[in-house]
Amino acid sequence: MASRKDLPIRAGSTVKVHLKIEEKGKTRMQIFEGLVLAVKGGKGNGAMFTVRKVASGVGVEKIFPLYSPSIDKIEIVRQSEVRRAKLYFVRGKVARDVKRKMRHTKSGVTVPVQEGEVVEEKTAEEAIA
């Protein structure tokens, strides 16, 4: 959970949220990929972020607590530079218009967040340096 505090999640980022879902006594993973519309609560205990995706032509939004135990990991797929802290105007836009608003993107940024992996990555970087 401490590594999520350092996660550079911002409005305009495209993220994959890996959720643990328990149904009928079985646990499975569900991936929810979409655009981050808003981050509320900063990095504190009550921090929440809103993710929107379009599934079968219907917009779906989910609000996730940053430190939820049901979230296995959060991957940042792409970070876009946007001029707003909250992207609620995206709800009424067509996908083409949204892409135009976020033209300046930094692609190739992938940050998997798991408790064990982050510690290993830091030690590997220190060994190289």
* CATH code of the domain in which 42 resides: 2.30.30
pLDDT in tens, 62-119: 999 999 999 998 999 888 888 888 988 888 877 667 767 666 556 544 445 555 444 4
pLDDT in tens, 17-76: 999 999 888 999 999 999 999 999 888 889 999 999 988 888 899 999 999 999 998 999
Q: How many Å apart are CA 51 and CA 97, to the nearest integer?
A: 18
Domain count, the chain: 1
CB atoms under 10 Å from CB of 70, counted, come to 13
User: How confident is the model at residue 1, as a pLDDT?
Assistant: 58
Residue 126 has pLDDT above 60, yes or no: no
Q: How many Å apart are CA 66 and CA 7, to the nearest integer?
A: 10
**Residue 100 domain boundaries:** 2-128
CB atoms under 10 Å from CB of 53, counted, come to 14
pLDDT in tens, 72-88: 989 998 888 888 889 88
Strand locations in the chain, DSSP E?
Answer: 13-23, 26-40, 48-55, 58-65, 71-80, 105-107
pTM: 0.71
